[in-house]
Amino acid sequence: MDDTIKNKDGFIIDMDGVLYHGNNLLDGALEFIDWLQNNNKKYLFLTNSSERSPRELSQKLARMGIVVGDEHFYTSAIATALFLASQSPRCTAYVIGEPGLINALYEVGITMNDVSPKYVIIGETRSYSFEKIEKAVQLVQRGAKLIGTNPDRTGPTEKGIMPATGALAVPIEIATGKKAYYIGKPNPLMMRHALKKLGTDVKNTIIIGDRMDTDIVAGIESEIDTILVLSGVTNHQNIQNFSYRPKYIYDNIGEVIKKSKI
């Protein structure tokens, strides 16, 4: 492991495409988390996925053999809920999303409304339908503000690359002429929340992710060192499409450990 990486105090780690694809654990994930825990590192799993709560994510990793507490997770659903609560306390929203997002909103006092909500919120979902798109378009046209939990247009799964929030929001954006405001990475809000929760500063923190357009650019724009792993949506070919570069590139998170001198 590069000494610069080894000496970092805090690690911000993406999940999909870094630790797992769907329900399949990726090479080296368990060993890397063991290294963090054995070396008393501060770490936070920072995911743009809005489907699951921290408890559900903790339970998912536990099923794969990685045991970590709920406090080590921070999601775009939580960041979205906190942003809306600060903008418009106890507001109402029409939500296209899964329980992880809906519960995060309820916890900060935001209630569901499909008649005259202040916000229309889009997150990852497996119950996407034309009826929901139609409803969202109508509400935005009536004045509701359009919010996306994260800008990712695709995400890695055990079945391959699948549509994510950014793709699901596009029909609504096109039909209404309104651009969604996305809360998740690379939004600086998400990164500031992560650093505050982690309790480290930018110089002593590193971010690990599989996406150039969210994880890596988020780190660069926040002046946090970056590690790109090629186990998710980015490969040696499409990395050439970007005008910026990560500080480190590994095939997978296990490579970080394999190259260690420890």
CA distance 4 to 226: 11
What is the per-residue pLDDT for 157? 78
pLDDT in tens, 116-126: 999 999 999 99
| Residues 111 and 26 reside in one and the same domain | no
Instruction: Please report, in angstroms and rounded to a whole number, the separation of the first and last CA atoms in the chain.
Output: 8
| Residues 174 and 196 reside in one and the same domain | no
Q: Please pick, among 14, 210, 215, 225, the residue that the annotation labels catalytic.
A: 14
| Residues 82 and 156 reside in one and the same domain | yes
| Residues 82 and 126 reside in one and the same domain | yes
Is the pLDDT assigned to residue 194 strictly greater than 80? yes
| Residues 190 and 223 reside in one and the same domain | yes
pTM of the predicted structure, to 2 decimals: 0.92
Q: Is 213 a catalytic residue?
A: no
Partners of 71 in beta bridges: none
Phi, psi (5° rounding) for residue 225?
-60, 150
Other beta carbons within 10 Å of 259: 12
% of the chain exceeding 90 in pLDDT = 90
Q: Which helix (H) or strand (E) holds 61?
A: helix 54-63
Q: How many structural domains is the chain composed of?
A: 2
Q: Is 152 a catalytic residue?
A: no
The set of residues, in sequence order, having a beta carbon less than 8 Å from that of 67 and lying 6+ positions away, is 61
CA 18 vs. chain centroid, Å, equals 12
In a domain, 61, yes or no: no
Q: Please pick, among 2, 3, 9, 16, the residue that the annotation labels catalytic.
A: 16
On whether the CB atoms of residues 79 and 189 are closer than 8 A, the answer is yes
In the chain, the DSSP E strands lie at 10-13, 20-21, 24-25, 42-47, 73-75, 92-96, 111-112, 119-122, 145-148, 154-157, 160-163, 181-182, 205-209, 225-229, 248-250
What is the per-residue pLDDT for 3? 76
| Residues 83 and 146 reside in one and the same domain | yes
Q: Domain residues for 138?
A: 77-182
**In this structure, what CATH number is given to the domain that contains residue 25?**
3.40.50.1000
In a domain, 55, yes or no: no
pLDDT classification of 170: cutoffs 50, 70, 90: very high
Closest CA to 101 of 30, 28, 47: 47
What is the per-residue pLDDT for 262? 38
pLDDT in tens, 41-75: 999 999 999 999 999 999 999 999 999 999 999 99
In a domain, 54, yes or no: no
